[in-house]
Amino acid sequence: MDFVEVEFKGYRLEFYKNPQQFPFKVGDYVIVQAEKGIDLGRIHHTCIKAPCVKDKEQLLEVIRKAEKEEVRRLKKLRKKEEKALMKCKELAVKRGLNMKLIDSEYQFDGNKLTFFFTADKRVDFRELVKDLAAEYKTRIELRQIGIRDEAKRVSGCGICGYKLCCTAFLREFEPISSQYAKEQNLSINPSKLSGCCGRLMCCLLYEKDLYEESLKKFPPMDSIIKTSKGAGKVEKIDIFKDIIYLRYENDEWDRITLEEAKELMKNEPECVEEKTEIDEENQ
């Protein structure tokens, strides 16, 4: 295997080169190159082909498999991190800094200690860094993260009962719009569409392409289709059963198949265009 994916604390995943072709297995603890030192993580995935990264030449390398004593030392570091986080919170309060500290992480060799926090605004933490450097005698890094990154580091389960997608497999966050929910005929209810982070759930994006492609064969939402009962507005579309739900001016509902809609639009082509013109005027 030429490359491996290594998992660190907070479900942080990084790719590394494996030039010595070590026969690693998923779950193995390994020593890897780090910025000005070494780090310890666990094999998350073994890759034969090159990973999808911009510059593969800049990837750091796996050095070797970790020894049992080193794994035990890592567990001791986790306890030190908990104490360091509490200390950082105390110092932040003394400095009057409006920030929410989420987590802390030691580089395995102890050359760096990173604190993760969220804040509504930019925080001037330069004096806090000096306090922490004097306390721990190592390089200190304070990293401001977003609320979605916080959920990823803390982890948890979604309303589906499974581990959060951002923790399980997502590498990057993409913008999510409530329009995706509308296209999927979901109720625009923030409490039901929001994830643990308070933002729209990432899974709304998974079927976006399917719905966009399927909806191309249907008349647009809010367009008018003339039937024997009168002019009905397209209120809902079921792409799986090819059903269109119409609502008339008297609030009566009806449903027609896609084929029936095509026949009606073939006979009355202006019925959809008329609504489109109205929408354009409103814009």
Domain CATH number, residue 234: 2.30.30
Using pLDDT thresholds of 50, 70 and 90, give the confidence band for residue 55: low
Per-residue pLDDT for 282 more than 90? Answer: no
pLDDT digit string, tens, across residues 63-102: 999 999 999 999 999 999 999 999 999 999 999 999 999 9
Using pLDDT thresholds of 50, 70 and 90, give the confidence band for residue 279: very low
Together in a domain, 93 and 57: no
Together in a domain, 199 and 137: no
Number of domains in the chain: 4
Per-residue pLDDT for 273 more than 50? Answer: no
Separation CA 254–CA 149 (nearest Å)? 45
Average pLDDT over residues 193-221: 90
Average pLDDT over residues 235-255: 92
Place of tokens 């004593």: 69
| pLDDT the model gives residue 139 | 96
Together in a domain, 203 and 240: no
Query: Residues for the chain: how many in total?
Result: 283
Together in a domain, 78 and 29: no
pLDDT digit string, tens, across residues 34-43: 988 999 999 9
| pLDDT the model gives residue 228 | 87
pLDDT-above-70 percentage for the chain: 90
Show which of 44, 66, 88 is a domain's final residue.
Answer: 66
pLDDT digit string, tens, across residues 116-139: 999 999 999 999 999 999 999 999
Structural domain harbouring 38: 3-66
Cβ proximity of 76 and 40 under 8 Å? no
Report the b/e string of 2-29 with b at 16+ CB within 10 A: ebbbbbbbbbeebbbbbeeebebeeebb
Show which of 145, 169, 193 is a domain's final residue.
Answer: 145
Show which of 33, 66, 99 is a domain's final residue.
Answer: 66
Average pLDDT of the residues of the chain: 88
Which of the residue ranges 105-109, 217-221, 238-242, 261-265 has the most confident prediction, judged by mean pLDDT? 105-109
Per-residue pLDDT for 7 more than 70? Answer: yes
Together in a domain, 86 and 51: no
| pLDDT the model gives residue 40 | 97
Q: Long-range CB contacts (< 8 A, 24+ apart) of 119-125?
A: 119/144, 123/97, 123/98, 123/99, 125/92, 125/95, 125/97, 125/99
Together in a domain, 77 and 129: yes
pLDDT digit string, tens, across residues 135-186: 999 999 999 999 999 999 988 898 889 999 988 888 888 999 888 888 888 8
Per-residue pLDDT for 283 more than 60? Answer: no
Average pLDDT over residues 201-213: 90
| pLDDT the model gives residue 51 | 63
| pLDDT the model gives residue 264 | 85
